[in-house]
Each structure stands twice: as structure tokens, then as C-alpha cells.
Amino acid sequence: MTVHDPETKSELKKELDATLQTRKELGPEYESELVDGFLDKVDRKIDDTIDRHVRRHLAERQMAAARGARPRPADTGPASFGERFGFAAISLVLAIPLSAIGVANAQLPGLLVTWAGIVGVNALNSAGVFPWSRHRGPHDEA
């Protein structure tokens, strides 16, 4: 189950709809708790997905090492398309609650600042500014 999986999207959409409906029923005084609860669920989904991918990647590397194979060039080069796409996808999933928080607290300026941050983080990641997105040397461990 990944962020791109229709089942996961459907689950998150249902959770968001339920959170918004609950907010309508309880009122704005419980908004912070509701948003925190929704973000916790999104975090758990993301953590589960990342854990699964990391375990699979480590298992693949262990199998390759056991066979005596050299690492693939994608393992030692700059961030692959999949890594960049995954980073962008996760930031867009998180953009939903962040946008809601920005609008709830500062209306249009809050939304604009939120999206400027999202675009900025994605631009910096694709430019390789972050340490995890830089080229790894042949002797570096991932």
C-alpha cells in the first residue's frame, strides 16, 4: 500500500472527510485536536510505507551482496526519479492538512505562505541541496 495506491487515497480521503464532518459538529474549538489526530494518521501511513520500502530495499541489497553482485548505479548515484517523485508525492499529501491549517489561521496569506514553503522544499530537494539528496560516493553507506 503506497501513497499512489487508490485504496490508500480512498482511506485518507475518508479520514479527512470524517475529520471535517466532526469539526462541523464539534465546532472550531476542537479543530486543533482534530487536525493533530488526522496528521497522526497520515504520519502512520507514511511511516508504514517508508518502513516497507526500506525493508524491501535492504533485503534486495543483502540478496545482491550474498550473490556477490555490485550495487546498481542507481544505488550510488544522485537521487533516482522514484525518490524525487516520492518526496514530491509525500509533500503533496501533507499539503492538504497544512493548507487547511494555513487557511484556518491566516486565510489567503496563510495559504500562500504554506504553498510557498511546499514549493520551496520541493525545489531545494530536486536541486540536491538537502544532504540526503546529494550524490553518494562509492564508499558511502546508505
What would the pLDDT profile of 72-86 be if each residue is shown by its tens digit? 554 444 567 778 788
What is the value of pTM for the model shown?
0.42
How many angstroms separate the Cα of 34 from the Cα of each of 14, 29, 43, 65, 110?
A: 14, 10, 14, 46, 19
* pLDDT higher at 136 or 4: 4
CA distances from 21 to 14, 15, 27, 61, 101 (A): 10, 10, 10, 45, 16
What would you measure as the largest C-alpha separation in the chain, in angstroms? Answer: 61
Grid cell locating 65: 551482496
Q: Could you tell me what percent of the chain has a pLDDT over 70?
A: 80
Looking at residues 23-46, what average pLDDT do you find?
86
Over residues 2-30, the mean pLDDT reads 80
Residue 24: band (very low, low, confident or very high) from pLDDT cuts 50, 70, 90? confident
Q: How far is CA 78 from the centre of its chain?
A: 19
In the predicted structure, residue 44 carries a pLDDT above the cut 60: yes
